[in-house]
Structure 1
Amino acid sequence: MADLILIFVAGVFGGLLNAIAGGGTFITFPALVFIGVPEIVANATSTVAAMPGYLSAAIGFRRDIAELDRALLLRLTGWTMLGGAIGSGLLLISSNAAFAVLVPFLLLGATLVFLRGAQVREWAARRRGAVTAFGAGSMVPVAIYGGYFNGGLGIVLLALFAMWGMTNLHVMNGLKSWLSFALSVVSLAIFASGGKIVWIPAIVMALGTIIGGLAGAPVSRRIPMPALRILIAAVGFGMTAVFLWRLIA
């Protein structure tokens, strides 16, 4: 019961952070590991638990998503699911020992991307034309990363959209939410078929993410964004240090 309470609370805070600024993975993934879930299963379960939050966010941005060409949206969704399937498949064939070695560096990279998200998007915007707009050559690799490790995916997607030349942040956030949901759906199917999801914790955490996601809007009006970003970055760096210590201890 104590474990379920812990992961429910982690889900609430993770959903809250994802709704406001991102970084929910820094809470949900470590919480599952700390109750004894192996790293690969914890990563898969954390990704699946975030799915309801992605869907609710996409519904909230449905009018903005509707501004996109239907054929383009379907094409991007297909490429995202393809890349997500590859990344999720790679996770299935990874050993817990190998993944445990990667975890501190994945968390560190995701934290740095989150902390420098605005600069990353500005840099990407200056490089418009460096990649084929809305091309599979850029979408699929990002989706592979998302299927393998979900942390920081939102910031990476926004940077990619900026490189494509997109400027409407509401449309970008809507597309980010929809593609993240599509990726998590295919990840769910693959992780479930591979037996990599602990269902009771996943359901409890998902309920928490829904509550946190719904609370995101009113809470965001009361917390200064700079302070929140510092808090999330501190959690990210802290979790990086903890997992690095676990690796070398």
Structure 2
Amino acid sequence: MEALWLLAGAGFAAGAMNALAGGGSFISLPALIAAGVPPVLANTTSTVALYPGSAASAWAYRDMLGGVGQVPLRPLLIVTVLGGVVGALLLLAMPSRSFDAALPWLLLAATLALGYGRRIGEWVRVRCRLRPAVVLCLQFCLGIYGGYFGGAVGIMMVAVWGLLGAHDLKRMSGPRVLMVTAANTMAVLIFVVAGAVDWPAAAVMLVTASLGGYAGALAGRRIPGPVVRYGTLALTAGITLVFFARAYG
């Protein structure tokens, strides 16, 4: 019963966090592991549980879809889907201990993206401009990351797109959500077909994450942006430190 309440609360908090700033997997994944779900299975289950909220967001942004810089939307979508397939298959094919070893570093990368992704993109942009072909290669790599783990992948995409000269964050919201959903769609399909989902845990989180997403969207209208940003960073940094201590302590 305690594990049930833990998963329910984590699902609600993860849904709200995704609605406010992203990074909901920072809550859902540790909660699943704490409930006794093996790390790889916890990651696949977290992806499935949080997927409906991502898909709903993509539908909400359907009128804001378009290319990024000089790169049309369709090539971006194709390479992201292919990357999502590769990432999901890698997760299932690699030994569980490999994911355990990589997890703290994946969380660290996601934390840095949440905190400094935009600044890093701006810093690089003033020094170079990437050709569309290079951006598509990077997008493929981000698709792999999205299918394998996916934490803060949307923010990483925006940082890369900024190197093309795409500065309008509001205009990039539609493509960003669509690409994240595309990578997650392939991952979810592969995880379900492979039977790599803890369905009782996923069912609980599916319901509460949807409720949390709605509550987070309402709260986001009232909570000041800096509070959301720094609160999210403090939480993600703390969880990352816990996983480093767990792996190397």
- Give the TM-score of the pair, scaled to structure 1: 0.90
Report the counterpart of residue 137 of structure 1 in structure 2.
Answer: 137
Q: CA deviation at 1:112?
A: 1.5
**AA paired with 1:85?**
V
Paired with 1:130 and 1:245, the residues of 2 have a C-alpha distance of: 38
- Structure 2 counterpart SS, 1:166: coil
Asked if 1:32 is matched to 2:42, the reply is no
Does the CA-based 8 Å contact 1:128-1:162 persist in structure 2? Answer: no
Paired with 2:57 and 2:221, the residues of 1 have a C-alpha distance of: 17
Q: CA deviation at 1:144?
A: 0.7
Q: CA deviation at 1:125?
A: 4.1
Q: Single out whichever of 107-116 and 71-80 deviates more from structure 2.
A: 71-80
Q: Unaligned stretches of 5+ in structure 2?
A: none
**AA paired with 2:171?**
V
Asked if 1:74 is matched to 2:69, the reply is no
Paired with 2:60 and 2:246, the residues of 1 have a C-alpha distance of: 39
**AA paired with 1:244?**
F
Consecutive aligned runs of 4 or more in structure 1 exceeding 4 Å deviation: none
Question: Equivalent residues in 2 for 1:51-90 (5 A)?
Answer: 51-65=51-65, 67-68=66-67, 72-90=72-90
Superposed CA deviations along residues 27-50 of structure 1, whole A, max 9, x for unmatched, are 111111100111111111111222
**AA paired with 1:37?**
V
Paired with 2:136 and 2:26, the residues of 1 have a C-alpha distance of: 28
Q: CA deviation at 1:128?
A: 5.9
Report the counterpart of residue 207 of structure 1 in structure 2.
Answer: 207
Paired with 1:157 and 1:13, the residues of 2 have a C-alpha distance of: 24
- Give the TM-score of the pair, scaled to structure 2: 0.90
Paired with 2:3 and 2:183, the residues of 1 have a C-alpha distance of: 28
Count of equivalent residues: 247
Structure 2 vs 1, CA of residues 185 and 225 (structure 1 numbering), >3 Å: closer, same or farther? same
Alignment RMSD, CA only?
2.1
Question: Equivalent residues in 2 for 1:83-232 (5 A)?
Answer: 83-126=83-126, 129-132=129-132, 135-232=135-232
Structure 2 vs 1, CA of residues 221 and 141 (structure 1 numbering), >3 Å: closer, same or farther? same
Asked if 1:240 is matched to 2:240, the reply is yes
Q: CA deviation at 1:119?
A: 0.8
Q: CA deviation at 1:84?
A: 0.5
Paired with 1:128 and 1:145, the residues of 2 have a C-alpha distance of: 24
Paired with 1:96 and 1:150, the residues of 2 have a C-alpha distance of: 17
Paired with 1:124 and 1:213, the residues of 2 have a C-alpha distance of: 33
Paired with 1:207 and 1:180, the residues of 2 have a C-alpha distance of: 21
Paired with 1:126 and 1:97, the residues of 2 have a C-alpha distance of: 40
Paired with 2:178 and 2:201, the residues of 1 have a C-alpha distance of: 24
Report the counterpart of residue 47 of structure 1 in structure 2.
Answer: 47
Paired with 1:175 and 1:96, the residues of 2 have a C-alpha distance of: 32
Question: Equivalent residues in 2 for 1:8-19 (5 A)?
Answer: 8-19=8-19
Structure 2 vs 1, CA of residues 239 and 68 (structure 1 numbering), >3 Å: closer, same or farther? same
